[in-house]
């Protein structure tokens, strides 16, 4: 070994000796295993006064709408950071590079914005625990749902009073078809048991519960999600209801626009700026294929029940509103009461 090689080896040794803590910290932060507990944020240091927004992106036709939604959240002081989770592996790199530049221009607000290309198109990826999440609350939302700022703030306050529950605006229900003796996915006018990921606030610990905990049983249920490319929201409801033995909490929004709902096709109250997007957005929405969609999700409920061996979903009744005088539930003194109670 010549003198130059010896000098190089000595320098490497000295660097490693004095920098070992930094290196270990870097390895933890950059861990490729999302379930590595050493890479998770210390619960004592995460923030409760803000939340992290995780927006699922897939369709290139929705990019203009996605950029608008990101800009809205980025302008809120309640949002710590925004992670756009891109799940379409066929999207050209140039398209995503342009999207990243556009999102950077949207980061004039309070939040940091990141575009993450997912390793696969699995819907389970939207619930991966991520070291970059520094908040106790996480908002899971879709790239075709716009919510007014006042309702968004109210939903976050409601989560602060009920941090173990799922909070959101869009709900559905499970039920039993007695004639066929099978579980179904439906809508009830007076009760609900499933919060949709169109807009779902939950505590970040549930991401680990969904993706990493509960062993083979949970792994088998995640495989069902991958098989049908659907039902990840139902499975998260299973996880949370099984944990707290309670259903989700529905909050009434002053304005929550679901551009993936075909019923918006002839509603131009939001102005002509969105008109060109509506048809394209609804074409790629799962809900536009209503009958098969409902049947498939009912089958998911049955499969999750079979694998888990019990039915954890619990019904909730009523809705939380932000002002007295509307039918439903109101927040008074940190408690939920009937709005007509004195």
Measured CA to CA, the distance from residue 197 to residue 209 in angstroms comes to 17
Active-site residue identified among 144, 233, 258, 261: 233
Between the alpha carbon of residue 146 and those of residues 19, 45, 142, 184, 298, the distances in Å are 47, 31, 9, 28, 27
Say if CB 154 and CB 121 are below 8 A apart: no
- To the query of whether residue 233 is one of the catalytic residues in this protein, the response is yes
Place of tokens 């939207």: 126
Residues contacting 200, CB < 8 A, separation 6+: 139, 140, 141, 166, 167, 168, 233, 236
Provide the sign of the torsion angle of the four alpha carbons 249, 253, 259, 261, taken in this order.
Answer: positive
Instruction: Please give the angle made by the CA atoms of 145, 301 and 295, to the nearest 5 degrees.
Output: 70
Say if CB 339 and CB 321 are below 8 A apart: yes
Following DSSP, what letter does each residue of 98-116 receive, concatenated? HHHHHHHHTTTSS-EEEEE
Measured CA to CA, the distance from residue 74 to residue 67 in angstroms comes to 10
Residues contacting 22, CB < 8 A, separation 6+: none
Return the number of other C-beta atoms located less than 10 Å from residue 52's C-beta: 24
Instruction: Please give the angle made by the CA atoms of 140, 227 and 195, to the nearest 5 degrees.
Output: 30
Closest by CA to 268, choosing from 259, 100, 297, 260, is 259
**Residue 262 class from Cβ within 10 Å (0-12 exposed, 13-18 middle, 19+ buried)?**
middle
Active site residues: 233
């Amino acid at each position: 070994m010549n003198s130059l090689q010896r000098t190089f080896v000595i320098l490497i040794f000295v660097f490693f000796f004095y920098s070992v803590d930094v290196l270990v910290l870097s390895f933890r932060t950059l861990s490729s295993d999302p379930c590595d507990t050493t890479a998770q944020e210390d619960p004592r240091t995460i923030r409760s006064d803000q939340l992290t927004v995780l927006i699922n992106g897939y369709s290139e036709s929705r990019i203009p709408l996605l950029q608008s939604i990101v800009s809205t959240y980025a302008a809120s002081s309640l949002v710590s950071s925004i992670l756009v989770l891109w799940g379409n592996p066929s999207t050209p790199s140039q398209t995503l590079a342009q999207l990243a530049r556009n999102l950077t221009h949207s980061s004039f607000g309070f939040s940091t914005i990141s575009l993450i290309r997912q390793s696969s198109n699995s819907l389970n990826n939207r619930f991966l625990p991520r070291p970059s999440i520094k908040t106790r609350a996480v908002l899971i939302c879709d790239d075709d749902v716009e919510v007014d700022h006042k309702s968004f703030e109210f939903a976050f306050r409601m989560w602060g009073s009920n941090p173990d529950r799922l909070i959101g605006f869009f709900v559905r229900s499970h039920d039993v078809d007695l004639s066929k003796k099978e579980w179904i996915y439906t809508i009830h006018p007076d009760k609900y048991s499933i919060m949709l990921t169109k807009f779902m606030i939950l505590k970040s610990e549930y991401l680990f519960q969904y993706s990493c905990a509960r062993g083979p049983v949970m792994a088998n249920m995640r495989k069902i999600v991958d098989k049908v490319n659907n039902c990840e929201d139902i499975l998260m409801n299973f996880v949370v209801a099984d944990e707290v033995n309670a259903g989700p909490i529905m909050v009434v929004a002053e304005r929550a626009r679901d551009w993936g709902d075909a019923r918006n096709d002839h509603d131009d109250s939001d102005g002509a700026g969105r008109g060109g997007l509506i048809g394209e957005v609804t074409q790629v929405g799962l809900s536009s294929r209503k009958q098969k969609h409902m049947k498939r999700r009912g089958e998911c409920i049955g499969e999750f029940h079979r694998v888990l061996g019990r039915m954890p979903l619990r019904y909730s009744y009523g809705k939380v509103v932000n002002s007295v005088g509307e039918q439903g539930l109101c927040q008074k003194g940190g408690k939920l009461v009937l709005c007509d109670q004195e």
